[in-house]
Amino acid sequence: LLPAHHALGRAYMQLKRDADAVGHLEKALSLDNDGSLHYQLAQAYRSTGNREAAAPVLEKYQAMQAAQRKSEEEFQRDIQITAP
């Protein structure tokens, strides 16, 4: 039921119930393919005063974002049309 945990965690975040969101977001982390879930969890940790837990999650988010940018740049480079 990972998608349900993800949805519930996001709903709690929107309701400003970050402490309730943390457990659900933690359970759904394996679904994260773009880093957005890691970012939300880091924000939930920060807002609940748990900055120590937020730091590694935020680092993972940044690494995922960098990898995604690199992949997009490589894709763009691969599809460029050049003269023969």
Cα separation, 59 vs 48, in Å, equals: 18
* Contact (Cβ atoms closer than 8 angstroms) between residue 34 and residue 68: yes
- Residue ranges of the chain with pLDDT lower than 70? none
Quote the crossing angle between the two packed helices 36-47 and 2-14, to the nearest 10°: 50
User: 60: which residues sit within 8 A by CB, 6+ positions away?
Assistant: 35, 38
Q: What is the pTM of this model?
A: 0.81
**CA nearest to 7, candidates 33, 30, 28:** 28
**pLDDT of amino acid 79:** 82
**pLDDT of amino acid 22:** 97
pLDDT digits (tens, 9 = 90+) for 54-75: 999 999 999 999 999 998 888 8
Residue type, 8: L
